Amino acid sequence: MVRRLNNSASDFDAAFDSFVNASRDGGDDVGAAVRNIIAAVRKEGMAALAQLTQEFDGFALTDDNLRLTQTEIDEAEAACDPEDLKALDFAVTRIRAYHEKQLPRDERYTDDAGVVLGWRWTCVDAAGLYAPGGRAAYPSSVLMNAIPARVAGVGRLAMATPAPKGEVNPLVLAAARRAGVDEIYRIGGAQAIAALSFGAGEIAPVDVIVGPGNAYVAEAKRQVFGHVGIDSVAGPSEILVVADGKNNPDWIAADLLSQAEHDPSSQSVLITDDAAFADAVAAAVDKQLSNSPRRAIAEAAWSDNSAIIVVGALEDAPALVNRLAPEHLELAVDDPESLMSDIRHAGAIFLGRYAPEAVGDYVAGPDHVLPTARAARYASGLSVLDFMKRTSIIGCDEAALGAIGPAAACLADAEGLPSHAQSIRVRLKPRK
């Protein structure tokens, strides 16, 4: 049975703190195992990839079948349902249009001291994209990972995806083609992250690795960070729905289960000011679970990690939302804008009763790779900027250095760095 909380209860603060801080990582320490995998790939390259792929995916990986050929991609696309391909094309158009608006602009100006200042943005040379292929394959994740990289101008996109028994979901391959992926490799898990980071076989290293995955993938990204850039260390999926009693409980139940069905470690939370509506949603969830083909997964997430919270007024919700800092936030209320004005921490916010989180997973436009595990307190979802970096520009002529140099030399002296100070003073005109 799902956890129930009420903010009028005397023990609510303690109960809510316990809920916020509860671990959903499954308790497995994968750090040592991932370290060994990364070390093996760095040392043995393709031989390690072959051994690990045979062990985890039951596939005899070789130099000849590591990378999918254009013929294989053609055949996969031909096997796809035309309606699915049409939906992919629709999603590509919307996702690209949204991300094109994120492109930053360079800046250059001369300040009052005559110093030329500014910045310019440039993209990385190569990006590695991880496309999950465990409990389910997600063509949508391919679009969300690759399109912002292409919009940023990245020249080489290399994708790794698990291929149990050597097979890759045809729609994943069709999505990769539409998103502009250059290379697709039949590898998954921590070994794929290691190969993208350090190179293995014909796989050349990349500069940035993005994309969600299981605990081993997340830990591998954590361990290679610094050698390459990463988007984030993704955790289990989350949804928080703030809803009043005017909603259809079946709609809200479906929204809550949309994330619960991802993984047993997922979390779904309802905050409402209507106790009777809370009961109706709970009953609707139970009914929908009974008919779900992913019942075992969703039921575990619902009973172990989720909650229904009844508050005295909807105005109490933003403070709780900010504490939870959810990956996805739905505001299914009459005036979502007023509630949103008090919310600072959420990966993505869905406004109104007709904006279910699932539309954001596929075709709304914004990226669905979002901060989890309360990382929305300090992090953002994947964007064009994850594939770009900003370079500062500083230019001085003699007069400009004369205006700002003495203070810089003074600070260098104060820090005990005489050569810093000297490199400035030798350029300054002697005082008369």
Residues serving a catalytic function are 327-328
Give the integer Cα–Cα distance in Å for 127 and 219: 19
Structure tokens at 16: 């809510």
Location of structure tokens 């596929």: 362
As to burial, measured by CB atoms within 10 angstroms (0-12 exposed, 13-18 middle, 19+ buried), residue 64 is exposed
Q: What angle do CA 386, 389, 390 make, to 5 degrees?
A: 135
As to burial, measured by CB atoms within 10 angstroms (0-12 exposed, 13-18 middle, 19+ buried), residue 128 is buried
CA atoms within 13 A on the CB side of 186: 27
Is-contact 25 163, C-beta < 8 A?
A: no
Structure tokens at 25: 């990582």
CB atoms closer than 10 angstroms to residue 24:
18
Give the integer Cα–Cα distance in Å for 247 and 222: 41
DSSP reduced 3-state for 45: coil
Give the integer Cα–Cα distance in Å for 405 and 424: 6
Contact partners, residue 327, CB within 8 Å, separation at least 6: 237, 238, 239, 259, 346, 347, 348, 370, 371, 372, 376
Give the integer Cα–Cα distance in Å for 63 and 79: 26
